[in-house]
Amino acid sequence: MILHSLIDYDILRVIWWGLLGVLLIGFALTDGFDMGVGALLPFVAETDVERRVAINTVGPVWEGNQVWFILGGGAIFAAWPPLYAVSFSGFYLAMFVVLAAFIVRPVAFKYRSKRDDVRWRTSWDWALFASGAIPALLFGVAVGNVIQGVPFHFTDDLHTIYEGAWYTKFIGLLDPFSLLAGVVSLSMLVMHGGAWLTLKAEGNVRDRARRFGSIAALVAVAAYALAGVWMALGIEGYRIVGDYLTTGPSNPLHFEVEKTASWLTAYSDRPWIAIAPIMGIAGGLLTFLGLRAGREVSTLLVSKMAILGVISSVGLTMFPFIMPSSSDPRSSLTVWNSSSSHMTLFIMLVVTVIFMPMILAYTAWVYKVLWGKVTEADVTDNSHSVY
């Protein structure tokens, strides 16, 4: 018996659809508060010492957190090759901006403390702000574009064609709904950063983080609710027409797809998925209340619940679509027509089962070792505090 036949192809596809979601959510839950702290830096810290306190709350962990982004990209490349090809082709200018921000961030961490000069450090602090706020915004913009459908199609020999001139591959992404999705993403991660600073900092930095984080929580909830109404009233969804084979070959042109009145018909077909948006809204409101009340650990946990709910709601609402095509619905990528082979998914699953627990155990150990608050005395007296 061939080992990969132990798990059916369609089940493996769903497993890897879920694992891709886990990796993206893991990135948002961990590196999300790093980006949130960066976006909050000009608002929560007024003096150099206060800025160092804020930076040192994420300085020791941001590198490990960013690994989730690499894992997510690797999973897309290996498990969903057509998705990788289409997304990196269509969004490459936006991705270039994101990667540039991620390159600037470690440079800013390392260089800001090299000179005791106000202008020097202020410039790097603004770089940290940009490297947190810009990716947080653009990730949401990308999701907003995917929800509306991306203008690409496949030729008969499966060559990808992306519609529009080169400049529309960035400017064209910034339509009103996608910008609203960007606001959801940015405010949600700023909320998460505020919850993290409440847990890890003291004094003025903590107090300002509570204030700005609670404002961000309300903005996130309001923008998310508005996006839901917009989807219900003004954005077409997609559905596969007729019978289809979930264990068939990965051919993006294998299914017939048409547009429908709304993505939200998924909630009448699968009512249980309503738990995701409920978690998103409830988590945001509980984070607001927790920040206002000064609670720490519980506030960070409900902030994570909000992120989990918001991101999960997108995947569950669109299932089985991963990237629909607005210019040629038949070219839309789904769980059933864009995965790697049965054997590839099985081998990847075995590797994941072996190594993922190690990664989680190491991550938990790191956070245990680094548990505790960062104080002004820590950054001024401790020689190991270099940021």
Q: What are phi and psi of 339, to 5 degrees?
A: -90, 170
pLDDT score for 166: 59
What residues pair up with 238 in beta bridges, in sequence order?
A: 259
Amino acid at 110: K
Residue 165 has pLDDT above 70, yes or no: no
Radius of gyration (Cα) for the chain, nearest Å? Answer: 22
So where are the chain's domains? 3-381
List % helix, strand, coil for the chain (3-state, nearest 5): 75, 5, 20
Q: What are phi and psi of 260, to 5 degrees?
A: -120, 175
What is the rounded distance in angstroms from the CA atom of residue 323 to the CA atom of residue 332? 6
Q: What are phi and psi of 201, to 5 degrees?
A: -110, 170
Quick one: residue 281, left, alpha or beta (phi over 0 = left, psi -120 to 50 = alpha)?
Answer: alpha
Q: How far is CA 146 from CA 5, 26, 162, 237, 273, in A?
A: 33, 20, 14, 11, 19
Residue 14 has pLDDT above 60, yes or no: yes
**Dihedral of alpha carbons 348, 319, 228, 327, sign:** positive
pLDDT score for 42: 93
Residue 1 has pLDDT above 80, yes or no: no
pLDDT score for 386: 56
261 or 143: which leads in pLDDT? 143
Residue 209 has pLDDT above 90, yes or no: yes
pLDDT score for 383: 52
Residue 318 has pLDDT above 80, yes or no: yes
What is the rounded distance in angstroms from the CA atom of residue 171 to the CA atom of residue 265? 30
Q: Is residue 57 within 8 Å of 29, Cβ to Cβ? A: no
Q: Is residue 299 within 8 Å of 290, Cβ to Cβ? A: yes
What is the rounded distance in angstroms from the CA atom of residue 327 to the CA atom of residue 153? 7
Please compute the mean of the pLDDT values over residues 41-53 and round it to a whole number: 91
What is the rounded distance in angstroms from the CA atom of residue 236 to the CA atom of residue 15? 27
Closest to 130 (Cα-Cα) out of 95, 93, 105, 99? 105
What is the rounded distance in angstroms from the CA atom of residue 355 to the CA atom of residue 305? 25
Task: List pLDDT tens digits, range 110-157.
Answer: 888 888 888 999 999 999 999 999 999 999 999 999 999 988 888 888
Task: List pLDDT tens digits, range 231-258.
Answer: 998 899 999 888 788 888 888 888 888 8
pLDDT score for 152: 87
